[in-house]
Amino acid sequence: MIKATFPHMGTFHIPMKSLLSNLGFQPIVPPPTSQKTIAIGTELSPEFACLPFKVNLGNYIEAIANGAELILMAGGVGPCRFGYYSQVQGRALAGAGYSAKLVTLEAPNADLSELYRKIKKYIPRHSIWDITQALHVFWTKARAIDKFDQLANKIRAREKNLGAITKIQNQFYKALDNTAILKEIDRVFNQALTGLDSIQLVPEAKPLKIMLLGEIYMVLEHRVNFRIEEQLGHMGVDVKRSIYLSDWIEEHFSPLHINKSRWHLSKLARPYLDSHVGGHGLESVAHGIEAGVNRMDGIIQLAPFTCMPEIVAMAPLTAISNDFSIPVLHLIIDEHSGEAGIRTRLEAFVDLLKHRKDKITMKQLSI
């Protein structure tokens, strides 16, 4: 059985582990990303590589230490460094003496048959039906996580006992990770929803509404964003995340999917940015406008240091901030960022938004 690994990105390992098992691999999930992971990856990376590159490289090396012999990495197209990530990572690993094979899986919207050929080589005995079934479980798990997280983000700002939702969330992730069949996934999901239903809320709470947008890895990976959704929730913020893993899967892995969402976002962003700038730069601008139009209280942009698409998105976001009178916090994170520094900036931003909201309410009351 081939021992296969992949990079961490939030809770991606839960559906991915199922997918690999169902396809006959032995999944080697890298240890959770830590400071050590980041240090290992940084040491082998070019200095100006973006943070996700470095962290992923660290994930591979830790997984290789646990026996991984095959690394699966997504490829990409477009004006961003992601397209040649895996080639450079492969060379860095080979240069350091690692013999694990790194296979780049180009997003199927680039070439579906190529992806199939690449996978088939490693799973010759699996039929298309087996692969479809494995993908179905993968998708159902990813969808369940996203639906749960969306709800959790909404109500965390109102929870009476701080941490109660996070506890249910972690139990849900663990239970989901241990399930293998579709019926069980439904049961685990419904049980987690029942848990959320039982959470005691503060009825008079008036949460701030913040749009969390930016580069996908930074938005989804809890370790590098210092569990920003949880931190904000505990500060009384209803967080609307701009991107979920299942959105990305749908966009790239559903051959029949007509990309209405991307078309819609391009149209929305057009007055401020009229071309695709790679990564999720255009989406960041579109979601910034969405936050302004919906009169949300603020926007937080998460970007890795040197991320070109998010740097491009910064100027339009500043214009959106002025036009819609909505404050924006740009958080640029690299391997030297620390939780205390990020927390201080979040607290200051949330304080500013609270004062602003109180002032607006007072003004409206005195009219």
Of residues 137 through 176, those in contact with ligand SF4 by CB under 6 A are: none
Which one, 88 or 199, has the nearer CB to ligand SF4?
A: 88
Cα–Cα distance for residue pair 342/181, rounded to 1 Å = 40
Piece of 64-72, 230-238, 242-250, 302-310 that binds ligand SF4 (CB under 6 A): 302-310
Residue 75 binds to ligand SF4 (criterion: CB under 6 A): no
Q: Does 81 bind ligand SF4 (CB under 6 A)?
A: yes
Give the residue with the Cβ less far from ligand SF4, 80 or 137: 80
Is there binding between residue 248 and ligand SF4 (CB under 6 A)? no
Q: In the complex with ligand SF4, which residue's Cβ is closer, 215 or 229? A: 215
CA distances from 367 to 6, 153, 157 (A): 58, 34, 30
Q: Which of 239, 304, 346, 350 binds ligand SF4 (CB under 6 A)?
A: 304
Burial label, 260 (beta-carbon count in 10 A; 0-12, 13-18, 19+): exposed
CB closer to ligand SF4 out of 278 and 292: 278
What count of other Cβ atoms lies within 10 Å of the Cβ of residue 112?
A: 13
- Among 71, 192, 224, 307, the residue binding ligand SF4 under the rule CB under 6 A is 307
Sheet architecture: strand order including 208-214 = 237-241, 208-214, 298-304, 328-333
Cα distances (Å, whole numbers) of residue 232 to 5, 63, 160, 184, 258: 32, 32, 15, 32, 34
Determine which residue in the list 90, 279, 288, 292 makes contact with ligand SF4, applying CB under 6 A.
279
| 154 vs 330, beta carbon nearer ligand SF4 | 330
> Least separation, in Å, of the C-beta of 237 and ligand SF4?
25
Q: Which of 237, 198, 215 has its CA nearest to residue 307?
A: 215
Answer yes or no whether residue 224 interacts with ligand SF4 by CB under 6 A. no
Widest distance between CA atoms in the chain = 74
52: contact with ligand SF4 by CB under 6 A? yes
The smaller minimum CB distance to ligand SF4, of residues 48 and 129, is found at: 48
Q: State the binding string over 83-112 for ligand SF4 (x if CB under 6 A, else -).
A: ------------------------------
Stretch of residues binding ligand SF4 (CB under 6 A), selected from 55-63, 75-83, 147-155, 233-241: 75-83
Comparing CB distances to ligand SF4, the nearer of 50 and 289 is 50
The yes or no reply on residue 82 touching ligand SF4 (CB under 6 A) is: yes
- Under the binding rule (CB under 6 A), the answer on residue 10 touching ligand SF4 is no
Q: Does residue 21 contact residue 27 with C-beta atoms inside 8 Å?
A: yes
Q: List residues near ligand SF4 by CB under 6 A.
A: 50, 52, 80-82, 215, 278-279, 304, 307-309
